[in-house]
Chains A and B, each alone.
Chain A
């Protein structure tokens, strides 16, 4: 098991931001999602977020909803997600799961933490629990030495930013915009001030996500953040090549290269 902090340390040593890529497990198939995530690692992602497809993803826009629904329709199970983590973590990059809460509660919080750790997973990103309602997860994560990545948003009060920073491990996920996941034309001017507020609250890497979709945007964010998180743009690369895996992987490789160049330019 590798804490995500190693990815940030490596990036910092190279004087750049880390690139974190997201794809849902099981999209377009379990094996296909493993090949896709490994391609992203080969092409320059420093850490991978494996999405656990969920029936009611309130923080996701149409692109990720679409992919997650396809994965569910194809029959992806929670235990498959653990296997995807295992296959991606074998590459050596920190591999986290991004999941809504109910599937974890249903799986059993303690059993989940134990299985995730055993598979080599680094931890969890939890878009719909905050530390003040996350005591069960916090206890299990601490027990199994897993990263707890909570989100902060432009609307978070300083008090809540401080509470979130204190309870997070690995890094803090700063939502760049008030809104759901999905590519945006322009980078947000809310992200910079939010990152500064996180830094003022404690010493933990902070990565910015939501809306970043190309190398130029990544470069902008890399100027002020420790990491750049990209999700919908990767999903879009696969969605745009239905049934043609080679073309989809090629698109992923090209996008990863562009983003990886961006985080080095910033």
Chain B
């Protein structure tokens, strides 16, 4: 795996406990984020900002949110010591088991938060974008639970690739609209959802699927996902009496990563690692390593790192993991990278698939391919920490989702599914190599 750190210039940090927060106009570090949006949506974004801030300050909203996550979604998720994996790398690897949440990923936290807020705001319809369909399924689930109308925009390329998730959304009562424009993938689904929203904003909430987009989405989605890190920090202290030496997560738009990182931002001794989709390898140009290889620009309402050409046209991203296949990234991550507080490193498709096999074989856990990027990257960090600090060195990895949805990809990648073949010797070797 490439060990190069993100090649961003270091910027001076403003002081004080709010230094990682957005200002009231939605800028992190004074430059990242903001709200580059049509005027038609500004009133709705202002309304949402006020509603979200009121809600977060309202103990009854917070209690409702916690209750629904606990009773319905299975949160708090466990912090699990992966002992065999730990043994292989020589450091303590703790997995935050978001894969065990209802609908199989951290995404349920965000949608339950946003849907609860939608109810509070008196709106009757939600829209969402989705790539692989995970956020779409989570949104359809929340819409069913809260009795809201739901329309999900999905690139036409993705509706063909992810027919099973289309069917899940439909079974849950959502309308799925295939988007043919542009590259017919996630970024175009976001464009189409925004177009819907401009025309429907009086009665519709846009359940944005990650910690990107215009203010207040990056901060609001972060608030709904930050339980991941708040819980993990307390669980780690409680179970081991120490803070971890490092935390790690995969970064698509950045919701699971910022959800984990937030609790540790002020813990200066804790290393923070984001792992970006390196696709075929950054040098091939076929990747989605936005922070590592992109440049500052404006996409979907925020100033952030963007994969773009010389003229500022967005270029298509590539990743084996549909959930990470996005040419932008949440602006707070751009700020954490630029300020040096977190480092962002690409992990290739092949490295992620090796890690998927390894975790399956050593721990009996089939991770989402997104999460497998975090595992692959974290194991490198864990080996270094183990060497530096011994076997008690501790890393928390966000296992953001489970791999059921990815079996089609795994079947193709590993050549699985033919029962006559018996245990696959090659795959055994792949898993072994990943552990080396």
A interface vs B, CB < 8 Å?
54-59, 61-62, 65, 69, 72, 77-78, 101-107, 127-130, 132-133, 150-157, 160, 164, 175, 177-180
Contact = CB atoms under 8 A, between A and B. Distances in A.
Give the dominant DSSP class at B's interface.
Answer: mixed
Contact size class for B? Answer: 35 or more
Which of A106, A107, A153, A164 neighbours the largest number of chain B CB atoms within 10 Å of its CB?
Answer: A106
Nearest to B193: A58
A90 B384 CA distance: 65
Contacts of A57: 191
Given A155-B42, A157-B43, 8 more contacts: A54-B313, A55-B182, A61-B195, A65-B181, A72-B313, A128-B301, A130-B39, A160-B43
Contact of B36 (A69, A129, A180): A129
Interface of B: 25, 34-44, 181-182, 187-188, 191, 194-195, 198-199, 201-202, 297-301, 306, 308, 310-314
Nearest to B296: A105
A101 B301 CA distance: 10
B123 to A, nearest CB: 14
B310 A106 contact: yes
Contact of B314 (A55, A61, A129, A177): A55
A151 B194 CA distance: 17
A133 B38 CA distance: 11
Which of B37, B39, B43 neighbours the largest number of chain A CB atoms within 10 Å of its CB?
Answer: B39
Contacts of B40: 59, 151, 153-156, 175, 178
A64 to B, nearest CB: 11
B311 A106 contact: yes
B36 A101 contact: yes
Contacts of A104: 312
A154 B41 CA distance: 10
A153 B182 contact: no
A102 B309 CA distance: 11
A133 B43 contact: no
Given A102-B312, A155-B43, A133 B36 contact: yes
Contacts of B199: 177-180
Contacts of A160: 39, 42-43
